[in-house]
Amino acid sequence: MFRYDFMDKTLLLLLVITVCVFSSSAQLSVGFYGRTCPRVESIVKRVALDKFKQAPTSAAATVRLFFHDCFVEGCDASVTLASTPANRAEKDADINKSLAGDAFDSVMKAKKAVEAECPGVVSCADVLAILTRDFVGLTGGPTWQVKKGRRDGRISRAEAATANLPGAEFSVNQLLKNFATKGLNLVDLVSLSGAHTFGFAHCDQFSSRLYNFSSSNRMDPTMSSSFASDLKKSCPIRGGNPNLVEPFDPVTPFEFDNAYYKNLLAGRGLVTSDQELYSDRRTRKLVRLFSKKRQRFFNAFADAMDKMGSIGVKTGTSGEIRRDCSRIN
């Protein structure tokens, strides 16, 4: 007799999620704006280059914005919507309050430039996807063809961000379950985490590893003692600047390379969810591989970004094409 137990239900749920993700993504295409806005990619790239020259931190910030968008309501630019008196939007959820203003500014500037040439044609969601790819390339990382045709969502709720985004303290078990609900696997998890090869984190995202890790260890034993000592100077147990940030990779914080994985091997992962990838045997092998083979990481990252960019996309008549990325039409 067929046994339909909890595991069967879980596998069925993930199958349904995967089918939904890829049935929507099938409607995306690289040449979606070939007739309606043929210069969209060059317009966005020019904005990315100008913004990067002004504020190099915009690159990592925009990649993070794209991730936080796709994991909540799908890749529909719902994260760029502003709160209203009647609704607290995703961007104002506690987990999103550290999203950098330069990322939002990049999207708004790129959208404005695109609107000047192709009004009402290109979605904010597609602008964000193209920007993300361009910023990765500008910092030395891989490139990939961005499939387009996403439409913008009209719903943005802070509680949805809290429920869907992985936390900095997540274990590999929690991360794998979280990623699986989006149709992403273990390779996607390890490669997308490599985006922490550039960018910064606030002290409150890792301070517990320094001072209050567990009942038996004040400091996370997987953390390099010299690395911890350096972090304590910038992030004291009391006082200090709450707005202070530390680089995920202190050596090349503005470059997209594979130093992130090398840091994990040395116990220099900044947040718990980073170092866990090397502590857990299921993900350790890939961490080691990517630390030695930069191109293998780049290829896996590009594939995972393409895959993530198809999560829950709205196409056809769903959603809308926003004129202003911060509010619905």
> Where in the sequence numbering do the catalytic residues fall?
68
Rounded to an integer, what distance in angstroms lies between the CA atom of residue 198 and that of residue 250?
9
DSSP conformation class of 238: S
- Nearest-angstrom CA–CA distance, 240 and 92: 24
Q: How far apart are CA 112 and CA 28, in angstroms?
A: 23
* Tokens at 270, concatenated: 């900044």
Q: What are phi and psi of 247, to 5 degrees?
A: -70, 145
255 close to 198: Cβ distance less than 8 angstroms:
yes
Is the dihedral angle over the CA atoms 196, 202, 208, 209 positive or is it negative? positive
Is 179:172 a contact under the CB 8 Å cutoff?
no
CB 242 within 8 A of CB 203: yes
Which amino acid, 70? C
Residue 92: other Cβ atoms inside 10 A: 16
Query: Two tokens at 44?
Result: 């966005």
How wide is the angle at C-alpha 118 spanned by C-alphas 114 and 120, nearest 5°?
A: 95
According to DSSP H, which parts of the chain are helical? Answer: 6-25, 40-54, 58-70, 101-117, 124-138, 158-164, 172-180, 186-193, 207-211, 225-234, 259-265, 272-279, 281-292, 294-308
| Distance between CA atoms of residues 309 and 160, nearest Å | 18
- Give the separation between CA 292 and CA 259, rounded to whole angstroms: 10
Q: Are 222 and 279 in contact (CB under 8 A)?
A: yes
